[in-house]
Amino acid sequence: MEKNKTVVADIDRGMYDIKNEDRYSYKVSQGLTPEIVTKISQEKNEPEWMLDFRLHSLKVYEDVPLPDWGPSLEELDMNNIVTYVRPHTVMKGNWQEVPADIKNTFERLGIPQAEQESLAGVGAQYDSEVVYHSVKESLRKQGVIYTDMETAVKEYEPMVKEYFMKLVPPQDHKFVALHGAVWSGGSFVYVPEGVTVDIPLQSYFRLNSPGAGQFEHTLIIVEKNAKLHFIEGCSAPKYNVTNLHAGCVELYVKEGATLRYSTIENWSRNMLNLNTKRALVEKNGAIEWVSGSFGSKISMLYPMSILKGEGARADFNGITFAGQGQHLDTGAKVVHAAPYTSSNISTRSISKNGGIAVYRGAVKVTANAHHSKASVNCESLMLDDSSRSDTLPSMDILNDEVDIGHEARIGRISDEAVFYLMSRGISEQEAKAMIVRGFAEPIAKELPLEYAVEMNNLINLELEGTIG
Amino acid sequence: MSEKLLVIHDLHAAVDGKEILQGLNLEIRPGEVHVIMGPNGSGKSTLMNLIMGHPKYELTHGSIEFEGQDITKLKTDERARLGLFLSFQNPEEIPGITVENFLRTAKNSLSGQNVRVLAFKKELKEAMAALKMDPAYAARYLNVGFSGGEKKRNEILQMLLLNPKLALLDETDSGLDVDAVRIVSAGVSQFKNEKNAVLVITHNTKILKELQVDYVHVLIHGKIIERGDRSLIQKINEHGFAEWTAAAKE
């Protein structure tokens, strides 16, 4: 009898793996000291309070231990991580002025093309600094601000001072403390009251330098009854040294406002992705997360929504794909801190070739949050016997008048389903890819189109191989 | 070149080490409608799965030829590309893949080229109308949340669009009400022409009323022990399989 066995080699990630020569105009030495942190601050000409904040964060970083749960981070040696790499250019508002190697990288990733076709504004970060930024004039006139964090610290200082790392303070855990000390780049978005930004803004983060860290900070404030869709993409070529990504995202959603925040993180397989994202949602506001985690060696990512005002709402749609040598520990957290709040978490995970995909999530309902609703649905698909999948949901419910639902399913590709598709002339490989794409579809349909296409391509790449 | 579409010779087969088929012979020519009848457990579904190449079913002896070619080593999708089709008794549910997307992918795979989208849409719409299917089903996920009858109609829809040389219908009438049986039968009649053939397996006779049946085979304990024309159907309707099962035990 024939035995079907799928052998899948490590994939060719094509354009994501094209690396440029490591050219830079300034790079701090490896490791982490108050001198290095001070140098980063001086390089950026920052106000005194920011330098103080960085040095304070560094102290916290030194005091706080590594997390005692989740994937092992013992291979991380901060002495080997370069925290700051300034590319060989300053920020431009025109792609023609961006140096050719950097511009070509973003062109291969489709960023300038997408800007022309479907975006209202674009930011592009290369290593530690933003190299390109633009926003449509019509939005600027309505008071929408979209710029890099360095510019924001200088030009919108009071606002940055009011919000920066207030939602995610350095004391939270070791890697936000690290972030507070060495953060660089990222986006600042402000949407004034009542303004609807009807086409998305997009930032793209590209880490080129080997052995570097990326610590971009995203700060978004959507004022009362305003509306925004923000898209973030991340990637890096593969080197043989460990890279670290410890970004921080703070989202402030005011009364009646809506923010949709979509990301695809497709880091290379030498990346430790320890990212922290959090949203604070006021009365009748809504946060909608769409999150895809593909690359990286280790990911620990649990975007959190704090529903602070009555009637606030959070939606989380996430997909994780763990292949050989990957340990992706992802999920979502929601805190219902007011009455009549609602949340909906829906995740899909796929593991293959020994990959580990874990859903880790938490729902907390505080004592005053009566008439709140929460639903959690996690589905996992394991493509072979060597892969692993776990679901670790936690529920902490302190009010009886609530409606809580939880569903978890772990499954495999059914041989009968493959046979069914093959009986219609579809090859075994395509049949399996169709089933996996179908499994991912509920999340894929929430993604911006080009990202959904990218995700399907990634799934096809991941499943390509010899069958025999 | 053989004029025969399907030739099965002395077929023995096992599932999980248990021998189910014990020397089955069958020949089908273009233009013919064959029916295999037999009680539950007689090996009908095993035969269908074996012809289609289900990896769980093991051929231990004998041969299956399609248009003169030995197909027993071919994979299921290769058999489908030669012109074989199986209408499943219990079709799988595939979430996230729409009926339309699935059918277009199947058609592309069978023809080796991309079908023209507009022509395909038109063909799909017409076939659905013929089967009295709600056109909204084209955008639904394959068999997900379909009733038993809807699944069967969806199988016949696939048969009409994929247009195989030999269609194997596995209990296509089971679980259907009278109207649904009539619609499905009409679909099969619409499909049938002098160049293709149909092999129906069933343990009841509802679907056969509306079909032009040429040959009836009675399958008992993995062997065909009686062959005849459609008058056999009448006999089975009246007396069941008792006569043969008793004989097979002796």
- pLDDT tens sequence across A105-114: 677 666 667 6
Q: How far is B102 from chain A (nearest CA, A)?
A: 8
Q: Does the CA dihedral A37-A41-A43-A44 come out positive or negative?
A: positive
List, for chain A, all residue ranges whose pLDDT scores fall below the cut of 70.
Answer: 1-31, 84-93, 95, 102, 105, 108-112, 114-120, 128-129, 207-212, 235-241, 462, 464-468
Instruction: Give, for A379, the enclosing helix (H) or strand (E).
Output: strand A372-382
Q: Whole-angstrom Cα distance, residue A46 to residue A27?
A: 17
Q: Touching check for B17 and chain A: CB below 8 Å? A: no
Kindly list the residues from chain A whose CB atom is less than 8 angstroms away from the CB atom of residue B71.
none
* Nearest-by-Cβ selection for B158 from A417, A424, A431: A424
Q: Whole-angstrom Cα distance, residue A140 to residue B233?
A: 80
Cβ within 8 Å, pair A423-B94: no
pLDDT at position B205 is 74
| Residue B81 backbone dihedrals phi, psi, to 5 degrees | -70, -20
Cβ within 8 Å, pair A438-B109: no
Q: What is the mean pLDDT of residues B124-136?
A: 94
- pLDDT tens sequence across A92-102: 667 677 777 76
Q: Touching check for B114 and chain A: CB below 8 Å? A: no
pLDDT at position A43 is 86
8-state DSSP, A462: H
Asked if A458 and A444 count as a contact pair (C-beta separation under 8 A), the reply is: no
pLDDT at position A15 is 56
Partner residues linked to A217 by β-bridges: A248
Asked if B52 and B211 count as a contact pair (C-beta separation under 8 A), the reply is: no
**What is the per-residue DSSP string for A222-269?**
E-TT-EEEEEEEEE----SS-EEE--EEEEEE-TT-EEEEEEEEE--T
Cβ within 8 Å, pair B106-A439: no
Cβ within 8 Å, pair B81-A425: yes
Domain boundaries of chain A, sorted by first residue:
2-301, 415-468
Kindly list the residues from chain B whose CB atom is less than 8 angstroms away from the CB atom of residue A4.
55
Asked if B197 and B212 count as a contact pair (C-beta separation under 8 A), the reply is: no
Q: Is pLDDT above 60 for B120?
A: yes
Q: Touching check for B82 and chain A: CB below 8 Å? A: no
CA neighbor of A108 nearest in space, from A244, A237, A265: A237
| Count of CB atoms situated within 10 Å of the CB of B246 | 10
Side-chain half-sphere CA neighbours of B56 within 13 A: 14
Kindly list the residues from chain A whose CB atom is less than 8 angstroms away from the CB atom of residue B162.
424-425
Asked if A220 and A230 count as a contact pair (C-beta separation under 8 A), the reply is: yes
Size of interface A-B (CB pairs under 8 A): 80
Q: Whole-angstrom Cα distance, residue A295 to residue B225?
A: 60
* Nearest-by-Cβ selection for A416 from B86, B92, B158: B92
| Residue A456 backbone dihedrals phi, psi, to 5 degrees | -65, -40
Interacting residues of B28 by C-beta distance below 8 A, sequence separation 6+: B4, B5, B6, B34, B166, B197, B199
* Nearest-by-Cβ selection for A424 from B58, B95, B162: B162
Q: Which residue of A has its CA nearest to B103?
A: A424
> What percent of chain A is predicted at pLDDT more than 70?
82
pLDDT at position A28 is 65
Q: What are the Cα distances from residue A413, in Å, to A129, A317, B27, B94?
A: 43, 22, 36, 10
Q: Whole-angstrom Cα distance, residue A442 to residue A394?
A: 23
Q: Whole-angstrom Cα distance, residue B104 to residue B121?
A: 9
Q: Whole-angstrom Cα distance, residue A30 to residue A243?
A: 12
On the 0-12 / 13-18 / 19+ scale of CB atoms within 10 A, A464 is middle
Q: What is the mean pLDDT of residues B29-50?
A: 93
| Count of CB atoms situated within 10 Å of the CB of B239 | 10
**What is the per-residue DSSP string for A275-331?**
-EEEEEE-TT-EEEEEEEE---SEEEE--EEEE-STT-EEEEEEEEEE-TT-EEEE-
Kindly list the residues from chain A whose CB atom is less than 8 angstroms away from the CB atom of residue B15.
none
Kindly list the residues from chain B whose CB atom is less than 8 angstroms away from the CB atom of residue A427.
77, 109
| Count of CB atoms situated within 10 Å of the CB of B78 | 15
Q: Touching check for A427 and chain B: CB below 8 Å? A: yes
| Count of CB atoms situated within 10 Å of the CB of B215 | 19
pLDDT at position A14 is 56
- pLDDT tens sequence across A169-196: 999 999 999 999 999 888 999 999 999 9
Q: Is pLDDT above 80 for B79?
A: yes
Q: Which of residues 139-178 of B touch A (CB under 8 A)?
A: 141, 158, 162
Asked if B30 and B197 count as a contact pair (C-beta separation under 8 A), the reply is: yes
The tokens for A112 are 């300038």
pLDDT at position A27 is 66
Kindly list the residues from chain B whose CB atom is less than 8 angstroms away from the CB atom of residue A423.
52, 76-77, 79-80, 85-86, 88
Side-chain half-sphere CA neighbours of A269 within 13 A: 12
8-state DSSP, A102: H
The tokens for A174 are 């070791």
Q: What is the mean pLDDT of residues B50-61?
A: 94
Element counts in chain B: helices (H) and strands (E): 8, 12
* Nearest-by-Cβ selection for B54 from A419, A427, A434: A419
The tokens for A163 are 């919000």
pLDDT at position A5 is 37
Q: What are the Cα distances from residue B71, in Å, to A21, B63, B67, B81, B166?
A: 55, 8, 9, 11, 14
Asked if B5 and B30 count as a contact pair (C-beta separation under 8 A), the reply is: yes
The model's pTM: 0.82
